[in-house]
Amino acid sequence: MPGMGEMNYAEGGNVQDLMKLYYGRLYPHQTMYKWLAYGNDTAKAKHPKADKSFFSRREFCFTLEGDIFVRYQSFKDGSELESAIKARCPSKIDIGPVYNVDPKKRAAYTGGASDAAGGPGLRAFQAVERELVFDIDMDDYDDYLNFTHKEHGWSKCWALMAVAIRILDRGLREDFGFEHIFFVFSGRRGIHCWVCDKRARELTDEQRASVANYFSIYKGIQEGKAKLMLSVPRHPSVQRALDILEPIFVDEMLPQQELLDSQESWEKILQYVPDADVCDKLRERWQNGRRSSTSANGEHEDVNKSRWAELCREVDRCLSRTKDPSKRRQLVKCKDEIIFAYTYPKLDVEVSKKRNHLLKAPFCVHPKTGKVCVPIDPERAEEFDPDKDAPSVAQLLNQLDSGVTNTSMTENVRLFEDLFLKALSRTTQEEMSRKTREAVKMDVDF
C-alpha cells in the first residue's frame, strides 16, 4: 500500500491488518449510505417517490494495494458497500457522481453513436448529479508564508484553514441560500467542503464554474504579486470577507509568520504599496532595527503588528494628499490586497467545476499520514487542531484495545450526524412527501 509505511502506527502491526480492523469495527458504513442515498435508502424504499436505483448509480473509486486505481464501482445498498470495503480494504475511497445508469454497465452505452448494425446507439453515459465540492490545500499558500505547513506543521498555519471555512460557509449560506454544508479535514494538508442541497447537486458544470469563480478572488501570482479580483468600492461579499480576514491577518498571521520582521519578508508586502515615497520611508524606519513599540494602553506590541500599523498610517496620509483618482483607487485597495493575498482562501477551482470529479470520502484514511478525514464544526473551526482532533487509525485501535466504549471516532460520527445529516434527512423526507402530494393532486385533477 503506497505511503502507508509513513503512518504513525503504535505497537507495530501489519498495516493491511490494521486497516481491516478499522473498516470492520470503526468505519461508519451505514451513516455514509444514509447520507449518499438522500432518502432513497432501502429503509424508505416503500415510499412511492423513492428512487430505488439512485444509490446504485453512484460511482465509488477504490485505491487498492499496489496503487491500483479502480473507478466506476457501484453498490445496490449500504450492506453491499460495506461488504466490498471490508473485502477489498482500499487505502483510499473516493466519491464520484450519480450517473444516469449504473456505472458498472457503462460499456453498454455508446454516447448516442450508431451501433454495429447501423441503428441508433443507446443513450449517453453521463453524470447527472453530484455534490458541489471545494478543495483547499495548504501547499497553495507556501509563496506567502515564512513558516509553511510542509516544514513546520499546523501550529502557524491552521488559522488560514479556519478562516477559509468561515468565508465559504457564510458565502454559500448567505449569498446562495444553501443549507446542507459540511467541512472535512483532508487528513494531511487541507480541507474539503461538501454542499449537498438538491439545488447544488443538480448544478451543471457551467453553473458550478460560476459559483467557484464567485469565490475565486485570488487568481494566482503575476510578476511576483498576487493577482486579485478586487474593486473600489468593495462588493458586499468582499467587505464581509475583509471583516473576517483582517483580524486574523493582524492578530495571528503577522506575528506567527513574522511577515514584517525581516527585509526579505517586508519587501514582499511593500510591493503592493503604490507609492515609492511611502515605501522608502517605511524601509528607512524598519532598517534602523526598531523591534517593537508601545501601544496606547502601554502594552508591548509585536514588531510585525506595530509595523503594519505604521504602514496603514503612511498609506492613509498619502491618500489624504493625493488628488489623482487612479492613484487614490490604488491606495485604497493596497491594504485590502495585502490582507487578501496572504489570507483569502486559495481554492482549487478545477475540483469544483466538473460533476465527474472524484473527492476523498469523509472518514476514510489518508494513506500518507494514517489520519482519518474527520468533520469540522464551522462555528468552532479556529478551535480544531489537526494534530490532536484528527485521530490516526493507530490511536483509534489503541482506544478499542484499552476498552474505551466510545472512541474519538464515535464522537466524530456523532458530530457529522448532529451538524449535518439529521437536518439533511428531514429535508429529503419533506421533499419526498411533497412529491407524493403533488402526484396525488395530479391524479385527482386528472
* Catalytically active residues, by annotation: 59, 135, 137
Residue 199 and residue 13: Cα distance in Å, rounded? Answer: 46
- With CA atoms as reference, report the closest residue to 354 among 96, 6, 48: 96
SS3 labels along 59-120: EEEEEECCCEEEEEECCCCHHHHHHHHHHHCCCEEEEEEEECCCHHHHHHCCCCCCCCCCCC
- With CA atoms as reference, report the closest residue to 2 among 16, 18, 21: 16
Residue-by-residue DSSP string for 363-411: T-B-TTT-BB--EE-GGGGGG--HHHHS-BHHHHHHHHHTT-SS-HHHH
Cβ atoms of residues 34 and 425 within 8 Å = yes
Residue 236 and residue 70: Cα distance in Å, rounded? Answer: 44
Cβ atoms of residues 93 and 361 within 8 Å = yes
Question: CA angle, 178 as apex, 172 and 183 as ends, to 5°?
Answer: 65
Place of cell 461508519: 28
Question: CA angle, 150 as apex, 158 and 303 as ends, to 5°?
Answer: 60
Give the helix/strand (H/E) hosting 270. helix 263-270
Residue 183: phi and psi, rounded to 5, are -120, 145
